[in-house]
Structures are given as C-alpha cells and as structure tokens.
C-alpha cells in the first residue's frame, strides 16, 4: 500500500474533523496521485467530505465497525482483516486517512507521500512522525512551494529494504 498525507511541522493532520490547511496545489497533487486508484479511508474522514460522499473516479474502501452501514459508490469493510481479504491489488492502493487509519495501515505501506507544510498548527489528529522511525527514509523532497499563503514541500518516504 501507499499512503498520502499533508502534515504540519509537528505532523498534525486535522482538527475538529477537518483539515488544517486549504492548499490548492496540494489538493491537485492529491487528486492527480490518487485518480483511478483505490483509496482506503476511515468513517470520520468520509464524514468530513462534501455531503459525506466517496471520492469520485476512484474505488473507495471505507472502514467502519457498524455492520449495518452501507454507502453508495463505495466498498465497506468492518475490520482490517476484512480489508486485507479483499481480492484487490493493494500495492497500488492509497491509504488516505484519517489518523486511526494511518496508524493501523502504516505497517502495510512501503511508500508515503507527505506534503510538509511549514507551519505549526493547532491539531487534534496526527500522523506518525516518519522522521523518528528507523524503518522509513526520506528519499526525495521538492523545492519549497508557495500557495495560498503557505510554504510547503512534497516529500517521498520509502520503507527501508532489509
């Protein structure tokens, strides 16, 4: 699996079930990177989308414990085991959050796209800090980009080969 996330300097990702930043260039990067790919997300992340609708033009897989929940245009699973039993190619699937889903699925990921926004932000949800995990290495970082009053870089982390 792959993971895609936008983080503040302290790896904050959200507050009050919303994103911390509105950055058109990052939204474009997210859209272009995940378009046509399977995306895996948690119930709270889904609820934060406009009208709580799955992302268009991508197979969506939603994690939720409520076995009665269904969602038009998405596959619903009730556990990580059920997710992993799906007959799909996970190597090209994207974990798109939020915090609970990132934490549980990071062990299955071998590549993370991390947009680093050069700001501290008042967050209540966080991504695991990959710079503190010895099994992950930063393999590329873009030049600094300015957008909508924010400074950001696009980073790629890879799981180290053992």
Ligand X SMILES: NC(=O)c1ccc[n+]([C@@H]2O[C@H](COP(=O)([O-])OP(=O)(O)OC[C@H]3O[C@@H](n4cnc5c(N)ncnc54)[C@H](OP(=O)(O)O)[C@@H]3O)[C@@H](O)[C@H]2O)c1
Contacting residues toward ligand X, per CB under 6 A: 5-6, 13-14, 17-19, 42-45, 48, 63-66, 78-80, 96-101, 104, 125
Give the residue from 29, 32, 24, 25 showing the smallest Cα distance to 58: 32
Nearest to 25 by CA among 14, 35, 17, 33: 33
Cβ distance to ligand X smaller for residue 96 or 109 = 96
Asked if 58 and 73 count as a contact pair (C-beta separation under 8 A), the reply is no
Give the nearer residue to ligand X in terms of CB position, either 66 or 143: 66
Distance (Å, whole) CA 110 – CA 28: 23
| Smallest distance from ligand X to CB 38, Å | 16
Alpha-carbon distance 138 to 74, whole Å? Answer: 33
Closest CA to 41 of 89, 105, 88, 90: 105
CB of 117 to ligand X, least distance (A): 9
Quote the least distance from Cβ 14 to ligand X, whole Å: 2
What CA–CA distance (Å, rounded) separates 143 from 24? 17
Q: How far is the CB of 161 from ligand X (least distance, A)?
A: 26
- For residues 45 and 60, which CB has a smaller minimum distance to ligand X in the complex? 45
Nearer to ligand X, 1 or 96 (CB): 96
């Amino acid at each position: 699996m792959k993971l895609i996330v936008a983080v503040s300097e302290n790896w904050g990702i959200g507050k009050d079930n919303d994103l911390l930043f509105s950055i058109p260039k990052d939204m474009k990067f997210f859209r272009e990177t995940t378009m046509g790919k399977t995306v895996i997300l948690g119930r709270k992340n889904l609820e934060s989308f406009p009208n709580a609708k799955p992302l268009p033009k991508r197979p969506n897989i939603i994690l939720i414990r409520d076995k009665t929940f269904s969602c038009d245009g998405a596959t619903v699973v009730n556990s990580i085991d059920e997710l992993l039993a799906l007959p799909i190619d996970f190597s090209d699937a994207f974990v798109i959050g939020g915090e609970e889903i990132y934490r549980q699925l990071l062990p299955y990921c071998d590549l993370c796209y991390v947009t680093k926004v050069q700001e501290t932000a008042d967050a209540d949800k966080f991504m695991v800090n990959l710079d503190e995990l010895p099994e992950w290495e930063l393999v590329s970082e873009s030049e600094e980009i300015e957008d909508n009053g924010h400074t950001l870089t696009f980073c790629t982390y890879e799981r180290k080969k053992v």
